Amino acid sequence: MPRLQDRLPGSEDVVSYTVRGGQDQYQRALLDVQISGSLNLLCGRCLAPLEYALALKTKVLLLQPGAAPQTDDDPEAPEWIEVAAGQELDLLELVEDEILLGLPLAVRHDPENCRNGKSGADQGMKADTPFASLATLLKPRRTGKQ
Ligand SMILES: [Zn+2]
């Protein structure tokens, strides 16, 4: 999964997936996709490793080209892909797509577990973090050394 690999700092990650064929209530072919695993990502704040638990469940409709559903604005509508009759579907690519869609754009430690908990997007909350008071304690010592 080269596109997923681009998002991962290492190459030891293992995901397992189950893909089951079925039909929806309108007798349209669909795939029931379940993906689970644990990915080693990097925290977007402190760049240290962060273990991300992956648990995805999704249904993907398999539609003939041109049979796109009219329900595209419906957030509850199932995902769909177009597959021509006789066309071979690259399952691994589908699973990779689902993982990429399911991954958050940026993962971060909880502020209390993050080395860099007081920087970045949480800057506005600086005064509220335990590290903020720590920084205040350290400042006079640094000045003393000069
Ligand atoms: Zn972090």
Measured CA to CA in angstroms, residue 97 lies from 3, 43, 45, 91, 130 at distances of: 9, 22, 25, 10, 39
Same domain, 131 and 98: no
DSSP string, 6-51: TT-S-S--EEEEEEEEEE-TT--EEEEEEEEEEEEEE-TTT--EEE
Cα(112) to centroid(ligand 1), Å = 9
Would you state the pLDDT for residue 31? 95
Q: Residues 42, 6: contact at Cβ < 8 Å?
A: no
Cα(119) to centroid(ligand 1), Å = 10
Cα(34) to centroid(ligand 1), Å = 28
Same domain, 47 and 115: no
Cα(18) to centroid(ligand 1), Å = 31
Same domain, 71 and 57: yes
Same domain, 86 and 130: no
Same domain, 127 and 64: no
Cα(85) to centroid(ligand 1), Å = 47
Q: Residue 3 and residue 33: Cα distance in Å, rounded?
A: 19
Domain of 143?
111-146
- Nearest alpha carbon to residue 109 among 26, 51, 23: 51
Same domain, 78 and 143: no
pLDDT (tens digit, 0 to 9) for every residue of the chain, 146 residues total?
999 998 888 888 999 999 999 999 989 999 999 999 999 999 989 989 999 999 999 999 999 888 876 666 777 777 889 888 888 889 999 999 999 999 988 889 998 889 886 654 544 444 445 555 555 555 554 444 44
Q: Residue 115 and residue 46: Cα distance in Å, rounded?
A: 6
Token digits for 110?
A: 């909880």
Would you state the pLDDT for residue 126? 44
Q: Residue 107 and residue 42: Cα distance in Å, rounded?
A: 7
Cα(45) to centroid(ligand 1), Å = 5
Same domain, 99 and 117: no
Token digits for 27?
A: 């007798």
Cα(4) to centroid(ligand 1), Å = 21
Same domain, 44 and 29: yes
Same domain, 90 and 115: no
Same domain, 129 and 73: no
